[in-house]
Structure 1
Amino acid sequence: MTLSATQGILGRMRWTTEQIADQSGKTFLVTGANSGLGLVTARVLAAKGGHVIMAVRNLTKGRQAADAIDGSVELQHVDLADLDSVRALADELRGRRIDVLVNNAGIMMPPRQLSAQGHEQQFAANHLGHFALTLLLLDQIEERVVTVSSALHKRGRIHYDDLDGSGRYSPIAFYTQSKFANVLFGLELHRRLKAAGDPRRSLLAHPGYSDTNLQTAGRTRAVKALMRVGNRVLAQPAERGALNQLYAAVDPRAQSGQFIGPDGRGEHRGWPTEVQPVGPARDEADARRLWELSERVTGVQLSSADLGRQRR
């Protein structure tokens, strides 16, 4: 299904949470679920009857968020930038059925930092942690994986010769690298599932320019002030931005390999529609290269036993 950016998912009809069917009996794992898009996603899924595992880095904020949700939720700790923490979460969830994994958590344009394993922080949290979590849990995932990227992936590339930014670091360049990596990963997972005859789906989504705390975390005071103004003037509400990942996560018409984003000009605002990744993000050779690098640095590999079986 290919749609023009002006049609929206349902032609002239706008897709909203009113069109989400009852999700009773399903379990959703949402990373970064204590604020912003992740919190909206968790709140909507719980309201629709789903059980939501809220994976968060800050348990205090996570408890506050969970307490305010009307529905079935539980809290789990994970620091996506720390591969030991990712493995701990996977161990904690071992054996449990997860219908949908929403790889939502992310950090945006902080000063250069390294993760516990020595990787650039944005690449570690936004890509490597989600890559490892997805593969560690893949045998337990019944229906689909949704990886949240950004329209800014279009400005990204993988800095294979300087992955940790020690040579030359730019917050925006390494943010766009991580979002570009999300797209390479989501599409490559789709291709591997399809090649194995596996009916599960791998989808991508992005929120456009949405008003969340992502834009103001980890920055200088002046940049934070500027971004707050931009959020008030230009951004759409987080509730609107989250519709894209919600559609990808629950709508039965969402197809593996699709990228869901806003239908407005420049994909900044609007209602969910199918959008297209930038051309280089569809490069299968680059996707395989990143996949192999990610397996090597995380120590997590995709097992053939995790693919090709009919789901329950």
Structure 2
Amino acid sequence: MKWTEQQVPRQDGRVAVITGANTGLGFETARALAERGASVVLAVRDTAKGKVAAARIGGDVSVQELDLTSLDSVRAAAAGLRASHPRIDLLINNAGVMYTPRQTTRDGFEMQFGTNHLGHFALTGLLLDLLLPVPGSRVVTVSSAGHRIRAAIHFDDLQWQRSYSRVAAYGQSKLANLMFTYELQRRLTAHGTTVAVAAHPGVSSTELGRNTPAVVRRPVTLLASVIAQPATAGALPTLRAATDPSVLGGQYYGPDGLGEVRGHPKLVTSSPESYDLTVQQRLWAVSEELTGVRFPVGRAAAAA
């Protein structure tokens, strides 16, 4: 059976925090959850746009300022969420940037790695204790098929200071999303409540490709117009990862079509590199060091 939005269960009484939810995949994820009765928080950088999105969605939807390019903003957002929500059922790490020119976050991290991975790593660590006591709670992190492109975690030059490839840097950040999910699930196993799951949208019509280099933008745009699916379809793997009762921790969901480009969400596998346990643990340690965030679940608990 093809999984569709109609199979999202009722979400009454559940709190969902979604990053980058004022547009694209995040907006469609928020809309679907709100329509099923969830209390939804749009965690966005531009609160004015967030309020417009919240009004379009209707229901119990609020806005929290969050700039993933600033650890100060991440900490402030986490504090704000903690003050307004004593529990969180769903944390959906959806926001992201792709193919940006060489630039850095406010903390000096390469923009794609800092936003897509480190910002979400820090936010999750600062909020996780609000999820741990909640039965059925989940952390869903949105990766990309792009994690397979020149896939590697470049520990010798994580911030791409010696040379820069916007495609390879994006691939590194999306590979990091998966490795984070797998290592987080390993650490969560002993707790028996919260699970970590990943998803990818295939090729979807969103604003994510706005930084595609001009030299390839035209052919890429033409190709996307033929194969891309609407954001409503691109959000389905995230929605399934977040709500399907059959989902297990450490799973990865993507479209079922040829090449996982488009289609209905199904369980998929990621690249062989993403399952490297040693690299996962090293990335975790480096991420803790760079962000200064320690999680309330440790490796010892995962091994227990």
TM range (shorter): over 0.9
1:189 equivalent in alignment to 2:187: no
Q: Look up the equivalent residue of 2:153 and give its one-letter code.
A: I
Q: Which residues of 2 match residues 1-312 of structure 1 at below 5 A?
A: 13-94=1-82, 96=85, 97-141=87-131, 142=134, 143-155=137-149, 156-194=151-189, 196-216=190-210, 218-304=211-297
Percent identity reads 49
Partners of 2:283 and 2:198 in 1: CA distance: 17
Q: CA deviation at 1:240?
A: 0.7
Q: Report if aligned partners of 2:69, 2:105 keep a CA contact under 8 Å in 1.
A: yes
Q: Report if aligned partners of 1:262, 1:268 keep a CA contact under 8 Å in 2.
A: yes
Deviations 1:72-129 (A, max 9, x none): 1000111112111100100111252110000000000010001111000000000000
Q: Report if aligned partners of 1:78, 1:86 keep a CA contact under 8 Å in 2.
A: yes
1:102 partner SS: strand
Aligned length: 294
Q: Look up the equivalent residue of 2:21 and give its one-letter code.
A: A
What RMSD, in angstroms, separates the aligned Cα atoms of the two structures?
1.7
Q: Report if aligned partners of 2:128, 2:296 keep a CA contact under 8 Å in 1.
A: no
Q: Look up the equivalent residue of 2:175 and give its one-letter code.
A: F
Partners of 1:248 and 1:190 in 2: CA distance: 14
Deviations 1:261-297 (A, max 9, x none): 0111111111111000111110111000000000000
2:294 partner SS: coil
Q: CA deviation at 1:221?
A: 4.6
Gap regions ≥5 residues in structure 2: none
Q: Report if aligned partners of 1:20, 1:250 keep a CA contact under 8 Å in 2.
A: yes
TM-score by length of 1: 0.90
Q: Look up the equivalent residue of 1:92 and give its one-letter code.
A: G
Q: CA deviation at 1:62?
A: 1.4
Q: Report if aligned partners of 1:120, 1:164 keep a CA contact under 8 Å in 2.
A: yes
With 103-112 and 86-95 compared, the bigger mean Cα shift is at: 86-95
Q: CA deviation at 1:222?
A: 5.0
Q: Look up the equivalent residue of 1:266 and give its one-letter code.
A: G
Q: CA deviation at 1:147?
A: 0.5
Q: Report if aligned partners of 1:54, 1:74 keep a CA contact under 8 Å in 2.
A: yes
CA separation of 1:266 and 1:119: change in aligned 2, threshold 3 A: same
CA separation of 1:57 and 1:226: change in aligned 2, threshold 3 A: farther
TM-score by length of 2: 0.93
2:115 partner SS: helix
1:161 partner SS: helix
CA separation of 1:197 and 1:60: change in aligned 2, threshold 3 A: closer
2:155 partner SS: coil
Which protein has the bigger helix share? Answer: 2
Gap regions ≥5 residues in structure 1: 1-12
Q: Look up the equivalent residue of 2:162 and give its one-letter code.
A: G
